[in-house]
Structure 1
Amino acid sequence: MDDEAPKDHGGSVRPHDHGGDVPPVSPGRSTRNRPTDDELLDAACEVIAEVGAERATMTAIAERGGTTRVTLYAHFGSRDALVSRVITRELETFTSFMFRIYDESEDMPYGARARHAVQGLFDYARRHPAGLRVLMGHTQGGDSNRRLYAALEPRIAARLRANYAEQGAHIGAGADTLASLLLGMSLDVAHRALIVDGAGIDEACDIAITATLAVLRDVRVEQLRALDASLDQR
């Protein structure tokens, strides 16, 4: 088994860390050379990226971080709290990076902005694969994946509305739908490259850019207005 359940002083077996998540009993130990929270989060991020949040155990994380389960519990309280800290940290890091990418491209032509945004996402995947694996998850549709969409979609939709407004078209919820489609395409391609089949990042990025530009070219204002009108009738 992955974790041998620690015993209490009465000899009874405590639950495993991925079940009851009860901190193990340990004698006192020196605090010298203990890893920092960031170092422990780095170790947890690597393990979660490899096996998924559901299968990441405190034992595996402790071994990766060169520490003990006792130290992990002392720093984070529980396995679920540690996983949550990792996801929150990686989400903040990724969204901050993407917002900088969006800001850099504000004065670019429309197509160049879209290309720059997609290239930025895949550049992040190239430099921080573990963090993006954590956010996308080994099974799509998880909580971290939803949080990723919730963080980026509004910014993308706002950029789309501004672009259509420059063309004299007012678009409402249709921009949200289009933003979801565009973001989803890039994330799905990145998911396959990083998690499913290990495709090259450069090649995956090229496909995502082509698909993004094709959608932006072929989706018509009339279609977005029709979508808005259908929502107004509900």
Structure 2
Amino acid sequence: MPPTRRRPTDDQLLDAARVVFAASGYRRASMEAIAREANSTKPTLYAHFGSKEELFGRLFRREADIMEAALLPVYADLPGRPLREMLEVALGAAVRYGLAHPEGARVVAIAINGRGPEPTLGRALLERLIDAIAGVVEETLRREGRDPGPLGRMIAAMIWGAAIEATRVAHTMGVATPELVEWQIIYLLGGLEAALAHALDGGRPPLAD
């Protein structure tokens, strides 16, 4: 008598879905491929999640929770730091999260970039992460006697753009994390100096060494 196949848990199926979605994207991933990765069957997958859209949504929410648990405590500790140090800590945390959770980071990026089943799925997460950084940036600029205007959100969005690109480069080129973070900081600060110089009516920007 052949051995009975054990019924997989939701988390085991989500782990398999994470591998397939990360490798193929949402649209090209198939329920058949996910069932195969889980050593399970399509009927079992549908019994647990109902549809590919529901499966991706459940996976995204799980991975978003993991991301926020890793990043929000770091962002809560940013107030009071000099602006450059604050940027380095915030960006470094995002990059290290991506390097530690490459498949989960890819799933989150799919949703944030509007390439999942619902274009707005990742928007609320991105807004929370940007808000967490933007408030600290604005506070820091005010402490330095500057009017932040829209710069807080712009800087926070630039941090996330740089972090996503840094994570992608790290996985394609195998660049060491400290070196990668420093490269991205140099890139980010260059963009910030130009933005600040324009926004603050010229003069030497406050981030210049």
* Length-normalised TM-score, structure 2: 0.79
CA 182–126 in structure 1, closer or farther in 2 if over 3 Å, else same: closer
Selected match of 2:128 from 136, 143, 151? 151
Structure 1 counterpart of 2:190:
214
Structure 2 counterpart of 1:40:
13
Structure 2 counterpart of 1:52:
25
Tell me if structure 2 keeps the 8 A contact 1:52–1:137: yes
Selected match of 1:127 from 97, 100, 103? 100
Selected match of 1:204 from 172, 180, 184? 180
**RCO comparison, higher one (Cα < 8 Å, 6+):** 2
Tell me if structure 2 keeps the 8 A contact 1:125–1:201: no
5+ residue gaps, structure 2: 203-209
Distance in 2 of aligned mates of 1:70 and 1:187: 35
Distance in 2 of aligned mates of 1:212 and 1:225: 20
* Length-normalised TM-score, structure 1: 0.71
Selected match of 2:75 from 102, 115, 122? 102
Deviation per residue, 1:172-196 (Å, 9 max, x gap): 33322232223212222323444xx
Distance in 2 of aligned mates of 1:177 and 1:134: 24
Distance in 1 of aligned mates of 2:169 and 2:114: 14
Report the 3-state secondary structure (helix = DSSP H, G, I; strand = E; otherwise coil) of the residue aligned with 1:137.
Answer: helix
**Matched pairs, number:** 194
Structure 2 counterpart of 1:20:
none
Deviation per residue, 1:123-142 (Å, 9 max, x gap): 11221111011122399553
Selected match of 1:170 from 138, 147, 160? 147
**Which of the pair has more CA radius of gyration?**
1
Structure 2 counterpart of 1:83:
56
Greater fraction of residues in helix: 2
Tell me if structure 1 keeps the 8 A contact 2:18–2:104: yes
> Root-mean-square deviation (CA), in Å?
2.8
CA 151–138 in structure 1, closer or farther in 2 if over 3 Å, else same: closer
Identity over aligned pairs, percent: 30
Structure 1 counterpart of 2:43:
70
State the 1:222 CA deviation. Answer: 6.1
State the 1:108 CA deviation. Answer: 3.4
